[in-house]
Amino acid sequence: MDLVSFIIILIDMASQRQFITFFRMFIIFKLPQCLNKIEKLEVYFIRNVYNEQYWELAKVFLVNFCYAHIIAIFLGAMAGMNPANNWLLNKGLIGSPWVERYVWSVYWATNIMLTVGFGDIAAANYQEAICLIFIETLSCIIMAYNINRVGSIITNIRR
C-alpha cells in the first residue's frame, strides 16, 4: 500500500467516522514502517556521543508525547461511561468536532502527567474519579522516571 492510497483511505474513513478501523489499519500497515524510519533516523543522527545524548532527550520527549496521546484516548473514552454527567459535558464540548475534544484531552493529559492540575478540567462523577486515580498514580511514576532520565542524560552531556 503506497502513501497516496493510504491517505485516500484515511480521508474516506474520516468522512465515514470510522476512526477505530483507521487506527487498526495504521498499526497493522504503517507502524512497522514508521519504526523502521525512526531506526534509520537514529543511526543517521547518532554520529558521536553528544548527538547520542541529544537523541536520548528527543526520545524522552517523544515517549512523553505518546503517553499523553494514550491518556487522552482514555480520557475521551472515560466520558462515555456516564453520558449524562462527564467532563466533556462540564467543559461544554459535547457536539464539538473530535479534533477539539482530542486537543482538550491531550491538554488535560499533559496537566495530569506534569502533576500541575490547573483545576479547569476535573472529574464529573465517581467513575471518572476512579479512572483518574490510576492514571494520576501511573503518571507520577512516569514523571519521576523521566526527571531521573533527563538528569542522567544532562550529566552525560556535561562529561
Domain range summary for the chain, segments of one domain joined by +: 1-45, 48-158
Nearest to 108 by CA among 80, 81, 70, 143: 70
Question: Per residue in 92-121, pLDDT tens?
Answer: 888 888 888 888 988 999 998 888 777 788
**pLDDT in the model for residue 5:** 61
**pLDDT in the model for residue 107:** 92
Mean residue pLDDT across the chain: 78
How far is the C-alpha of 80 from the C-alpha of 85, rounded, in Å? 9
**pLDDT in the model for residue 100:** 87
Q: Could you give the maximum distance between any two Cα atoms of the chain, in Å?
A: 57
Percent of the chain beyond pLDDT 90?
A: 5
Which of 18-27, 28-37, 49-58 has the highest average model confidence (pLDDT)? 49-58
**Greater model confidence, 21 or 111:** 111
Beta carbons within 10 angstroms of residue 108's beta carbon: 24
Q: Is the pLDDT of residue 148 over 90?
A: yes
**Greater model confidence, 13 or 145:** 145
- Find cell 533516523 and name the residue: 41
Q: Is the pLDDT of residue 29 over 70?
A: no
**Candidates 1.10.287, 3.30.1050, 3.40.50, 2.40.10; CATH matching 48-158:** 1.10.287
Beta carbons within 10 angstroms of residue 17's beta carbon: 10
Q: What angle do CA 94, 97, 101 make, to 5 degrees?
A: 65
